[in-house]
Chain A
Amino acid sequence: MAHNYQYLIETEALSFAYHPGQQALAQVSLQVKPGAIYGFIGQNGAGKTTAIKVLLSLLDNYEGKVHIFGADIRKKRKEILARTGSLVEEPALYHHLTGWENMLNRSLLLRLPKSRAEEALRQLGLFDARHKKVSAYSQGMRQRLGIAQALMSSPELLILDEPTNSLDPNGIREIRQLLANLAAGGVTVFLSSHVLSEVEKAVTDIGIIHQGRLLFQGPMAGLREGAREEAYLDTGDNLQCLELLRQHGITANMAGQKLNLGSIGREEAARINTLLAGQGVKVYALEWARKSLEQLFFEITNTADAL
């Protein structure tokens, strides 16, 4: 396999349809740098799992090119999979076996020493529960066992489909930390999720997929910087305030519990504040903030829908 590649995962005009006319992926060109934690986000049915299945060679009747580790997945399937750990949809565990037996089975198939199974179980905090049957595990424990299996072969690439599903907040934080440690050790992580607040904290790069089309791709920091700071206003009665602002020709929108004033400058903000004070409106807060990933996501996908 090639050793010189700019992107560890690279797809070129990747398209896939389960049925004729129903395009699940349309001209998707992913570019995942080595060592990145790439968050692949999209709503349910956007094409995330389909793309992951293509990357893992579970679907091979696609159009376009798919290169991983610089090699074509169709030509070097086994070699690529040998260097990849994965978790697709829900963890595929044998519930009548114990956690340890599940790990042993995996280590047998991958020709790994038992010590690797032990290590991975410790890493995911399941070592003490290893002799319990998986049927007695909680959903969160099963999810962690699935991740432990994916990690067991010390893969260079980790592909995780919704890895924080069923995890409690503590478990989510642990997985986030684990992924950061893995990436620091040179592992490339490709994860899909629809929990945007979690992705935002965990990833270095992001891809936004919507109705099978890749709408955005790039560093997370770049996405944030690209988003202008906007002013938010909190008053005693936001609805009345919104009406008042509109009467004075000032554009504003409700944004959760606050009013979004858009990208206004300090002078404009002061003028609005004076106006509101003059009308007897109590202003509790006037602050600037960058948009969250969730806001950016909806902005990007709504724009695409409008086109």
Chain B
Amino acid sequence: MNKFWLALRSEFLKSRRTLALATAAWLPALIAGLAFALFYFRSEDFAKMGADPWQMMAANVFGLYAVLILPMYAMVVAFSTNQVEHASNAWKNLFTLPYPRLTIYLSKWAFAFLLILAFSLLLCGWLYLVGNVLAVLKPEIGFQDFNSFGMTARFFIKFFLAVLGVFSIQFLLSFYWRDFIRPVGAGLALTIAGAIGAGWEYAWLFPYSATVRVSEQFRKEQLSFFPPEILVSLLASGVLFLVGYLLALRRIRR
């Protein structure tokens, strides 16, 4: 376990100055800033609606977040964490460390996983802050009158679980293909397909539709943490982790 933490700390060190880490830090703040601007400058419109502003804010953010931002971020993280090793053929070097091979692969996967979790939690936290600031600056919107942020937070967790399938597929593609175009291009095409086909009766089986389907559940206030699409996403994630590990072992043998 100690070695796992060391390997994980090493991943954090290696992520300095990478796109994945920078994006995890500034993108949630940027999204929250846009949400703040929207509510601040159109406070009268939102006040007139009289609806729960926490839910309105979440609905505004989740639209793009589910379709594009979160799957794209998962792709960037998967690409960036693999690219760090591809860039100088460092996988071999990692496997000559006196570490169990599984620990090395797991730490890299776990780091990417934590980065997506951090991204989700940071955005969630920023939105909470935005709501509270607006409660003071624009009390007419009514953030102070509602206490429903728990549901928004719950859906951030659901989105996170839903995107793990996409992340795992992208992690595998980024491990297999060393360039940017192929894994991210394929990911983007699948994401668009997932968004378009999210309403199809078997779309719950397609991990790239999962986040869009969860955003639909937000609209319908379906709170369950484990609807079929999330279970599929988790299952895909587990299976692809093992496939990726076996592939990693095979690749270093070349």
Contacts and interface: CB of A to CB of B under 8 A. Distances in A.
Counting chain B CB atoms within 10 Å of each CB, which of A57, A59, A94 scores highest?
A94
B222 interface: no
Nearest to A92: B93
Given A18-B254, A58-B253, A94-B87, A109 B16 contact: no
Contacts, number: 75
Interface in B109-161: none
B2 to A, nearest CB: 9
Given A90-B88, A96-B16, A81 B97 contact: yes
Interface residue range, chain B: 20 to 34
Nearest to A142: B88
A94 B88 contact: yes
B181 interface: no
B98 to A, nearest CB: 4
Interface in A90-104: 90-97, 101, 104
Contacts of A104: 13
B7 interface: yes
A91 B88 CA distance: 7
Given A79-B98, A88-B96, A105 B13 contact: yes
B7 A109 contact: yes
A25 to B, nearest CB: 13
A79 B99 CA distance: 9
B97 to A, nearest CB: 6
Given A89-B89, A94-B84, A109 B97 contact: yes
Counting chain B CB atoms within 10 Å of each CB, which of A18, A95, A105 scores highest?
A105
A86 to B, nearest CB: 5
Contacts of A95: 87-88
Contacts of A56: 96
Given A94-B14, A105-B14, A108-B13, A58 B89 contact: no
Contacts of B88: 90-95
A271 interface: no
Contact of B17 (A59, A86, A96, A109): A96
A88 B93 contact: yes
Interface of B: 6-7, 9-10, 13-14, 16-18, 84, 87-90, 92-100, 252-254
Nearest 4 Cβ contacts at the A-B interface: A92-B93, A92-B90, A82-B98, A81-B98
